[in-house]
Amino acid sequence: MTKLFGTDGVRGTANTHPMTAEMALRIGSAVGRYFRRDNSGVHRVVIGKDTRLSGYMFENALTAGLTSTGMNVLLLGPVPTPAVGLLTRSMRADLGVMISASHNPAHDNGIKFFGPDGYKLSDQAEADIEALVAEGVEPTAAGEIGRAKRIDDGRYRYVERVKSSFPRQMRLDGLKVVVDCANGAAYKVAPETLWELGAEVIPVGVNPTGHNINQGCGSTHPQSAAETVVAHGAHVGICLDGDADRVILLDENGKVGDGDQFMALMAARWASEDRLKGNALVATVMSNLGLEQFMQSRGLRLERTSVGDRHVVERMRQGGFNLGGEQSGHIVMTDHATTGDGLMAGLQFLAEMVRSGKPSSELLHQFEPVPQLLKNVRFGAGQTPLEDVQVQAAIAQAEADLSGKGRLLIRKSGTEPLVRVMAEHEDAALMERAVDSVVVAVEDAVRA
């Protein structure tokens, strides 16, 4: 059997391996057996999902697999991914499951898992579960089959938890905020939270159909929200992705401020208050060189990890750090949450606007980014273009061209069949030539 788990759980096109109802049933049985190894006491799992049509199918299949091993299932319905991490811990569950493909199109879906501490599972736990999927799992005795129950107030519990991360005496009165929920999991909780804190809310992407999640909206397509910010004279825009674990911010002019700028703002703020643990920020290899230079200029460190918020969180826990994230908008603040939380990060930014009295455009320009270019090349099943000799030669030449004042990063996506080619350099023209030379070589290898 091919490897199931990628950088963030299991993901793929719905009704195509591995994202089939049959496989979800097997995964449910395997993960249920893994977390019920002692066969004692009451065991429970919470399941959340985003707004994809296929979520109904996977919710039912996972429930069947889990209850067949004696696990009791608590169904949350559509809630953000961080809500699952939160409620897994607060409801004393053995396991949390989120059904979502995050920022991917509606035809994709995925399954990601949280342990009883609210953190995503380790690589070893995923490997053990994958082995159980391959071996098959004996169902429990008929009298020990688990129950399933819908939890109607999950989203309200999450709203209260998110609001508790906001300064208690502070309100958002007078702030006009565009919030783009990507027709996804936060389509109710995000506007509700902002309104309850006093903001004038202009919602975008809050009419999910099962087919329109991330479609021309959300953190991967912020143009619509940017136009709305300008049209309504809003002070700021908050763009979430399909499962609301990442955020992209827009200033009052509709200009995008990515995760790097936000992390720079928070790192400097927390360091000034002696709140930045270890005087370090954890980010991935994709974060801009400008962020690294910003941190160094303040006597702070940037710790880099592999791509994926799970790797960021692992490094944060190992080093005792409390701030980390990704350029793409996963922001992890372990003082408040166990995983990336787009809405919570957006609230922290709004708090900084209120506290400082500065416009969002000023707060979202903490440093001048080094020119950066990212291009993707799609490849087919079974293809390994990075092993091609000509591709390796092109990569070696590009690295030599960029050495000294830039860098080249080549990697396979963990969630899609893509080769990602990213470069940074002070000379933008040189950087573009280097990226294009590698892209052409990879395209040739894919066509061969």
Q: Quote the pLDDT of residue 310.
A: 87
Band the pLDDT of 413: cuts 50, 70, 90.
Answer: confident
Q: Quote the pLDDT of residue 6.
A: 83
Number of DSSP helices (H) and strands (E) in the chain, helices first = 14, 18
Question: Which strands, in side-by-side order, build the sheet including 176-180?
Answer: 200-204, 176-180, 236-240, 247-250, 256-257
Band the pLDDT of 38: cuts 50, 70, 90.
Answer: low
Share of the chain above pLDDT 70, in %: 99
Band the pLDDT of 308: cuts 50, 70, 90.
Answer: confident
Task: Answer yes or no: is pLDDT of 43 > 70.
Answer: yes
How far is residue 159 from each of residues 118, 201, 292, measured CA to CA in Å?
Answer: 17, 16, 34
Band the pLDDT of 2: cuts 50, 70, 90.
Answer: low
Band the pLDDT of 405: cuts 50, 70, 90.
Answer: confident
Q: What is the pLDDT of residues 177-224, one digit of tens each?
A: 999 999 999 999 999 999 999 999 999 999 999 999 999 999 999 999
Q: What is the pLDDT of residues 59-118, one digit of tens each?
A: 999 999 999 999 999 999 999 999 999 999 999 999 999 999 999 999 999 999 999 999
Q: Average pLDDT, stretch 418-443?
A: 96
Cβ contact 71:38 at 8 Å: no
The active-site residue out of 29, 68, 100, 102 is: 102
Q: Quote the pLDDT of residue 123.
A: 87
**257: region left, alpha or beta (phi > 0 left; psi from -120 to 50 alpha):** beta
**199-230 burial, b for 16+ CB within 10 Å, e for fewer?**
bbbbbbbbebeeebbbbebbbbbbebbbebbb
411 burial type by CB count under 10 A (0-12 exposed, 13-18 middle, 19+ buried): middle
Q: Quote the pLDDT of residue 406.
A: 87
Q: What is the pLDDT of residues 378-390, one digit of tens each?
A: 999 889 999 999 9
Cβ contact 424:435 at 8 Å: no
Share of the chain above pLDDT 90, in %: 92
Q: Quote the pLDDT of residue 13.
A: 96
Average pLDDT, the chain: 95
Length of the chain in residues, anyone? 448
Band the pLDDT of 40: cuts 50, 70, 90.
Answer: low
Band the pLDDT of 20: cuts 50, 70, 90.
Answer: very high
Q: Whose structure tokens read 């416009």?
A: 359
Residue ranges of domains in the chain, CATH in brackets: 10-152 (3.40.120.10), 153-369 (3.40.120.10), 372-447 (3.30.310.50)
Q: Quote the pLDDT of residue 223.
A: 97
Q: Quote the pLDDT of residue 441.
A: 97
Least confident of 146-160, 215-229, 267-281, 396-410: 396-410
Band the pLDDT of 42: cuts 50, 70, 90.
Answer: confident
Select from 67, 256, 48, 8 the least CA-distant residue to 157: 48
Q: Is 102 a catalytic residue?
A: yes
Q: Is 202 helix (H, G, I), strand (E, B) or coil?
A: strand
Q: Average pLDDT, stretch 46-69?
A: 98
Q: Quote the pLDDT of residue 1.
A: 55
Count of beta carbons in the 10 Å neighbourhood of residue 426? 13
Band the pLDDT of 369: cuts 50, 70, 90.
Answer: very high
Q: Average pLDDT, stretch 19-47?
A: 90
Q: Quote the pLDDT of residue 39.
A: 62
Q: Quote the pLDDT of residue 12.
A: 94
Q: Quote the pLDDT of residue 179.
A: 98
Q: Quote the pLDDT of residue 190.
A: 98
